[in-house]
Amino acid sequence: MLGLSEVIPSDPFKLMTVALCIVGLFLATVFVVAFKPKAGEPKNALQAYLKFFYACFVKPHSGDGTGNQQDALESFYKAQAEVYDATRGRLLQGREDLLGLVAAQLKHRTEAGLISQRPVWVDIGGGTGHNVEQMGAFLSVPDFFRSVYIVDLSPSLCAMAEKRFARLGWKNVTVICQDARKFRLHEHEQEARKRKELILRGQIVRDLDENADAGGAELVTMSYALSMVPEFYPVIDSISSLLSPNGVVGVVDFYVQNQVDYQSRNYTGGAIDRHVMWISRVFWRTWFEIDRVNLEAARRDYLEYRFGTVLSINARNNFFGVKLPYYIWVGCSKDTGASSAKLAEIDAAATESPYLSALDLQTGPTPTDVEIRSKAYESAIVNLQSSLPLPATWYQNHHWRIHYDDTLPKHTRFNNSYIYAFTWEDDRADARLLKVRPDDVILAITSAGDNILSFALEHPRRIHAVDLNPTQNHLLELKVAAFTALGYSDVWKLFGEGHHANFRDILINKLSPHMSSLAFQHWLSNGPTVFSSNKNKGLYYSGGSGNALTLVGWLFRVLGLSGEVKKLCAAQTLNEQREIWERSIKTVLHSKILTWTVLGNEKWLWKALGVPPAQRDVIEADYRKVEDFEPVAVDATAAADKGKAEKRKSSGHAVYEYVLNTFEPVVTTTLLSTSNHYYLLALLGHYTPSSHPTYLSPKSHVQLSKPTAFNGLRIHTDEISEVIARMRPGTLTIVVVMDSMDWFPPAGGQAVKQIRALNRALKVKGRVMLRSAGLEPWYVKVFEENGFAARRVAVRVPGSCIDRWTDCVRDRVNMYASTWICTKEVSTEQEDVKMSLRKSSMGELHI
């Protein structure tokens, strides 16, 4: 047997030669495997990739040495023009997504009447025309577009494009081999030429650039072209003159960028995954410079500065096992929606102030109306004064979402995750308690958005949805967009079953025009895993509440009760349901494992169930009160008394008793299979056609899918106190704070501050509805001390569901010990004025 010294050469030169051979063999193997033809690719794909490799990495492509850009491009593309499309599918990812996004925008704007004629599309750097042909998957190019112009500087690629459209027979597509900086739409489009003539006719002194366009293209796209243009500033400027007022710009390209560059900008549409590590920045920038592709941040930065951002996406292409950064950006004219009248109109809807038109300003509105401005309005004014685009929310097709600063710690502390994937508030009980009218202005906590949709079914004048956690509002946005754009079957799959195999496709092609950039980024990044992945059980197993459902399911499996759970959820009578409950399921709630490892765990209570320490204290306080009234046996031993006392003090046992009093009456008085979807969801992880929230019925879909269904909706990402502080006094009629008042500690002034703010924002006789884990929460007295008349309208006693005293309407959730309505009787501001005057008069008498 030969030794290692006899096999491996000792000469350094030979060692290096062997090493290079091994590395070369390894790279060749990776190259062959990576580019093995996939379904739909030609059989000679390997040959095509070898041509691509030669043209990109071996063949010099500096042209004739004059530095002429067209000559250099032609030198680069001529050798690979015939295999260009076959070799770019894996490298140039995101092109189909861009086409889907801009097509969705065009369809929406056409349906909304913003585009009144067949659109014109200019594809800058369109090369072989691949993008135009691929658009056929989203729109009929010959029928939808009046004209399509492919502008490219490479004669070889343009020749391929001409062959493509001759083969397809698309007569409305024109290929123009020209420098993008010199392309003028009025030289080709009759309507653009007429507009240009009118502009020139009205000018006393002619512009230096008489060839500048006067707009006319409803769509301008650049696909992996911006990074190849040496003089990119004039090309981006030319897009502005090409674009019609309601047109759309779409760009997809490579990029690298450091977060230091953009972290102070509020107009980029969000920065999820935008930062690129330094080693990746250095490597990709250097690598692409070999082929005259420039990845410096200025190109994307100037694009975002020159236009308004509608949608922005940062993604990675796993190419050769490494992550190659690219972005997709959809924008519009910087001036769209930037008029003072438009800003004031949208701001008025957020602050409930009268809309102040120019005429209003002349007639003299009250100073209070003039001074009240939303944070979104203030950010818009700052940007306009600095010649910056408005924040991305101002360029959305719908103004549901109010702009917020997503970089603030109060938002980032939620780690881009929601707690509640479903809402634990009985919408039927709320409807009967509040009796919403068409003139009501409602402010409610968003949570999972189910309650907001239920209020929308009542058609109030305005609904203000408020949540500090951005992702809770992202979930509401997704639901609102779904009702706006999807049929009932798709809505049911998403929110009834919690699964949709084509989630990513419908997000891009149907929902994207109806979402803010931040919400779209969130769902594009997380939605496929939540809704489509085989590893995930669906929407309702996501978020903190999903952890609770997962754990409950795990306990049932460990205890061998999964079959009994299915029988319980399918029971058709209360007697059958009670029998199943008593013989099996109830034992889980008596499990010590559940009590001590889950219900007694503070971190789990907060992250999964959303029970903060202050609310747990309320539960414990009521538990101790009940225990104090229980008689103690005379012959009880001291040890037993000590053990009982410790048991009383245990938060785990207090919560355990609370949970037992919650579940038991629900199972014995409401039928899960037909009338209690709250607990059916908790056990099954999805709804059923016979048991689901009101908003998921076919009848509700008819109402919520109307174009005007959400005109009155405004979604605020902030604290309640911050939102109502910027509202016109005396405008709200209903405020629903759920159980959030339980979260305030008795010590400190947070509760007093919020209650006084609520008094200021509400009309006289306006109502605050709240639920509490306590029978008589401490803050009810604070309401009464600050101008409210507090009334407990429902209470839970052991053995029965919480009832309304007036007509015995059961709360099917039964999660809270009491429900209260606090009605504003007097204004605290008026009382403060009276008190001030009284003190002043007393002072004068004293003098």
The model's pLDDT over 547-566, given as tens digits with 9 standing for 90+, comes to: 888 888 888 888 888 999 99
Residue-level pLDDT at 430: 92
What are the Cα distances from residue 304, in Å, to 219, 225, 238? 17, 16, 14
Q: Identify the CA nearest to 548 among candidates 607, 502, 468.
A: 607
pLDDT at 88: 63
What is the sign of the dihedral through the CA atoms of 607, 609, 610 and 613? negative
Q: What are phi and psi of 466, to 5 degrees?
A: -125, 130
The answer, yes or no, to whether residue 252 has pLDDT greater than 80, is: yes
Q: Tell how strand 803-804 and strand 788-795 pair up.
A: antiparallel
What contacts 841, CB < 8 A, 6 or more positions away?
none
Q: Which two tokens stand for residue 152?
A: 């490219």
CA 14 – CA 21 distance, rounded (Å):
11
What's the pLDDT band for 806 if we cut at 50, 70, 90?
Answer: very low
Q: What are phi and psi of 274, to 5 degrees?
A: -80, -35
Element (H, E) at 330: strand 322-333
Least confident of 9-13, 48-52, 298-302: 48-52
**CATH of region 89-202+209-333:** 3.40.50.150
CA 108/CA 397 separation, integer angstroms: 9
Instruction: Tell me which fold the domain 411-479+692-831 belongs to.
Output: Rossmann fold (3.40.50)
pLDDT tens by residue, 265-295: 999 999 999 999 999 999 999 988 877 889 9
On the CB side of 104, CA atoms within 13 Å amount to: 24
Q: Report the relative pairing of strands 713-716 and 762-772 from DSSP bridges.
A: unpaired
Report how far residue 744's alpha carbon sits from residue 779's, in angstroms, rounded to the nearest whole number.
9
- 818-824 and 762-772: which strand pairing? antiparallel
Task: Tell me the torsion sign for CA atoms 335, 340, 344, 350.
Answer: positive
Q: How far is CA 648 from the centre of its chain?
A: 44
Distance CA 256, CA 271 (A): 13
- Please report, for residues 300, 456, 583, 758, the alpha-carbon distance to residue 695 in angstroms, rounded to integers and kept in the order given: 41, 9, 34, 28
Instruction: Mean pLDDT check: name the lowest of 431-435, 611-615, 737-741, 780-784.
Output: 611-615
Give the number of residues written for the chain. Answer: 847
Range with the largest mean pLDDT of 19-33, 65-79, 810-824:
810-824
| pLDDT > 70 fraction of the chain, expressed in percent and rounded | 74
Pairing status of strand 441-445 against strand 732-738: parallel
Asked if 734 and 769 count as a contact pair (C-beta separation under 8 A), the reply is yes
Residue pair 674/691 in contact (Cβ under 8 Å)? The answer is yes
What are the tokens at 829? 């501001």
Domain ranges, ordered by start, for the chain? 4-67, 89-202+209-333, 340-389, 411-479+692-831, 541-684
pLDDT at 804 over 60: no
pTM: 0.85
Phi, psi values for residue 441, rounded to 5°: -115, 115
- 89-202+209-333 and 411-479+692-831: identical CATH topology: yes
| Contacts with 242 (C-beta within 8 Å, 6 or more apart), sequence order | 122, 183, 185, 213, 215, 216, 217, 220
Output the pLDDT for position 19.
Answer: 63
Structure tokens at 202: 């009205």
State residue 556's pLDDT score: 85
pLDDT band for position 55 (50/70/90)?
A: low
Q: What Cα–Cα distance (Å) separates residue 438 from each residue in 450, 455, 727? A: 20, 11, 20
How far is 182 from 165, CA to CA, in rounded Å? 24
Tell me, rounded to whole angstroms, the distance of Cα 251 from its chain centroid: 21
Residue 362 pLDDT grade (very low, low, confident, very high; cuts 50, 70, 90)? very low
Q: What is the pLDDT of residue 186?
A: 84
Mean pLDDT of all residues in 307-329? 91
pLDDT digit string (tens) for 620-672?
Answer: 777 777 655 444 444 444 444 444 444 444 555 677 777 777 778 888 889 99
Is 50 exceeded by the pLDDT of residue 218? yes
Instruction: Render pLDDT for 700-754 as a digit per residue (tens, 0 to 9).
Output: 999 999 999 999 999 999 999 999 999 999 999 999 999 889 888 888 888 999 9
**Residue 187 pLDDT greater than 50, yes or no:** yes
Close Cβ partners of 417 (under 8 Å, ≥ 6 residues apart): 471, 543, 544
For 395-516, where are the alpha helices, taking DSSP H only?
409-412, 427-434, 450-456, 470-485, 488-492, 503-506
At residue 340 the predicted structure's pLDDT band, cuts being 50, 70 and 90, is confident
- Confidence at 832, pLDDT banded by 50, 70, 90: low
Pairing, β 173-177 against β 788-795:
unpaired
In this prediction, residue 264 has a pLDDT band, given cuts at 50, 70 and 90, of confident
**For the ranges 92-96, 439-443, 756-760, which has the lowest average pLDDT?**
92-96
